[in-house]
């Protein structure tokens, strides 16, 4: 616990950016669910079985077997985390001038696509950009939008569809299996691959089980496998669903793409049987994958997110609906309507919540969206959100109560919240390191 005075100093020192706070100054840390989950006793036991040989570690083969068994992909290249895999797949598949359609951008994913010379084009359904739409599958692809894009640019200019399950930037919103099947049919027609960002695939599977006709009696495990079977490869940040503090991988079904990937990984990550990870990390990941597809685990995980979300909804706080899989997203445009988007409302709101209670959240709006690579203008995304991201197996419902109380307190005093101006803007992924000052 810290005092308000201490927090005031800390947030000014951090340039009103919650990424720049020291964790010791944070009480409940909802910055991210990435690498912040608690490993189980089994995973910790696995850490003791690390085979730290440079090449051909036993743990690599356990990881490979877990990925093949639970996800069904044929070939795998471990990477230090998700963006390592994004770098490799973008370098292999994207040529300058290419178009990469996807169901809403993700920060690191789009940056790697752009650095490889591609342009990301959003093909998610319109409902995803509306925080109040209660569409059960706001992660769905608009297949008509995709088909017109293919007609305009030609299939040769589209190396793959960048398809996320549990769309992070939309509020952790799922895609339906019906939609993925439709996408598979369309892409087969044009010979286009689907690369799956499977970072939170198990959470997506839970929503399919609960909301899609015909899946209520299916296991999370079988739904996850079915999703993966409709795609050609995947990038994974195992720091989320797969319950590890560090790790990721690139999975592919095509042997020649795999051969290119296993060659490139040597430059950026490490040999193709460790990809920047210790043997013990790969063991923990193999066990985490198994635990992540357990029906009881995923129900408890998403249930805790729903618990917090329902508390906020009861208090009439504007959040993204329906409640997503990995966090609650406050709608800053509705929370602080007196601030213009260029005054960074979500950034300011995240700082205010920290100031109130030491609860750390993060911005997912104009700062995260960055600038258009051709015009250099800010993107002005429809969604201006503060993300309260829940780590897995870490907090109790009592912590969620503290969080809900603090958000309500800030909501009561919302009219006093001032905007920010950006005083330092790094070139890449600015939300991590940008600094701000309060507008007087």
List, by residue number, the catalytic residues. 54, 106-107, 197, 240, 364, 431
User: Cβ 108 to ligand PLP, closest distance in Å?
Assistant: 5
- Which CB atom, from 109 or from 357, has the smaller least distance to ligand PLP? 109
Q: 3-class DSSP state for residue 191? A: coil
User: Cβ 324 to ligand PLP, closest distance in Å?
Assistant: 12
CA angle 86, 240, 274 (to 5 degrees): 55
- Which CB atom, from 106 or from 258, has the smaller least distance to ligand PLP? 106
Q: 3-class DSSP state for residue 234? A: strand
CA distances (Å), 308 to each of 174, 325, 326, 405, 412, in order?
A: 19, 12, 11, 10, 18
User: Cβ 284 to ligand PLP, closest distance in Å?
Assistant: 15
Handedness of CA 150, 152, 157, 158 (dihedral sign): negative
Contact 158, 192 (CB under 8 A): yes
Interface contacts to ligand PLP, rule CB under 6 A: 34, 81-83, 106, 108-109, 164, 168, 197, 199, 237, 239, 248
DSSP 226: H
Contact 371, 378 (CB under 8 A): yes
DSSP 65: H
The residue sitting closest to ligand PLP, measured at its beta carbon, is 82
Listed in sequence order, the residues at least 6 apart from 414 whose beta carbon sits closer than 8 Å to its beta carbon are 335, 336
- Which CB atom, from 85 or from 410, has the smaller least distance to ligand PLP? 85
- Which CB atom, from 31 or from 164, has the smaller least distance to ligand PLP? 164
User: Cβ 140 to ligand PLP, closest distance in Å?
Assistant: 16
Q: Give the C-alpha separation, 202 to 210, whole Å.
A: 13
- Which CB atom, from 18 or from 357, has the smaller least distance to ligand PLP? 18
Q: Give the C-alpha separation, 432 to 426, whole Å.
A: 9
User: Cβ 154 to ligand PLP, closest distance in Å?
Assistant: 28
Q: Give the C-alpha separation, 436 to 27, whole Å.
A: 22
Contact 336, 320 (CB under 8 A): no
User: Cβ 205 to ligand PLP, closest distance in Å?
Assistant: 15
Cis-peptide, bond into residue 322, ω within 30° of zero: yes
- Which CB atom, from 250 or from 403, has the smaller least distance to ligand PLP? 250
Q: Give the C-alpha separation, 147 to 141, whole Å.
A: 11
């Amino acid at each position: 616990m810290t005092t308000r005075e201490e927090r005031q100093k800390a947030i000014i020192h951090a340039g009103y950016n919650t990424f720049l706070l020291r964790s010791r100054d944070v009480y409940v840390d909802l910055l991210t669910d990435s690498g912040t989950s608690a490993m189980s006793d089994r995973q910790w036991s696995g850490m003791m079985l690390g085979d730290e040989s440079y090449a051909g570690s036993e743990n690599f083969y356990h990881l490979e077997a877990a990925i093949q068994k639970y996800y069904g992909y044929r070939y795998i290249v471990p990477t230090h985390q998700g963006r390592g895999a994004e770098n490799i797949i973008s370098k292999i598949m994207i040529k300058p001038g290419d178009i990469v359609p996807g169901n809403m951008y993700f920060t690191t994913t789009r940056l790697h696509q752009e650095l490889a010379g591609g342009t990301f084009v959003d093909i998610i359904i319109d409902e995803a950009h509306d925080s109040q739409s209660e569409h059960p599958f706001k992660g769905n692809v608009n297949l008509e939008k995709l088909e017109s894009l293919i007609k305009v640019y030609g299939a040769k200019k589209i190396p793959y569809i960048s398809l996320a399950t549990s769309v992070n930037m939309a509020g952790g919103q799922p895609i339906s299996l019906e939609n993925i099947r439709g996408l598979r049919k369309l892409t087969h027609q044009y010979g286009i691959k689907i690369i799956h960002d499977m970072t939170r695939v198990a959470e997506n599977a839970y929503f399919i089980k609960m909301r899609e006709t015909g899946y209520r009696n299916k296991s999370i495990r079988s739904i996850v496998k079915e999703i993966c079977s409709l795609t050609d490869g995947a990038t994974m940040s195992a720091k989320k669903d797969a319950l590890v503090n560090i790790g990721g991988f690139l999975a592919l079904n095509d042997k020649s793409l795999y051969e290119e990937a296993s060659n490139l990984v040597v430059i950026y990550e490490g040999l193709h049987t460790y990809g920047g990870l210790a043997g013990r990390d790969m063991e923990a990941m193999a066990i985490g994958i198994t635990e992540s597809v357990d029906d009881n685990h995923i129900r408890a995980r998403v249930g805790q997110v729903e618990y917090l979300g329902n508390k906020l909804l009861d208090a009439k706080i504007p959040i993204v609906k329906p409640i997503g899989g990995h966090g609650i997203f406050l709608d800053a445009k509705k929370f602080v309507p007196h601030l213009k988007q260029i005054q960074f409302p979500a950034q300011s709101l995240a700082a205010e919540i920290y100031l109130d209670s030491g609860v750390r959240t993060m911005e997912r709006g104009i700062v995260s969206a960055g600038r258009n690579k051709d015009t250099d203008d800010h993107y002005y995304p429809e969604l201006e959100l503060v993300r309260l991201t829940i780590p897995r197996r870490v907090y109790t419902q009592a912590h969620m109560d503290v969080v809900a109380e603090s958000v309500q307190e800030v909501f009561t005093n919302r009219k006093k919240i001032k905007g920010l101006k950006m005083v330092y803007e790094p070139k890449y992924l600015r939300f991590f390191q940008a600094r701000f000052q309060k507008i007087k």
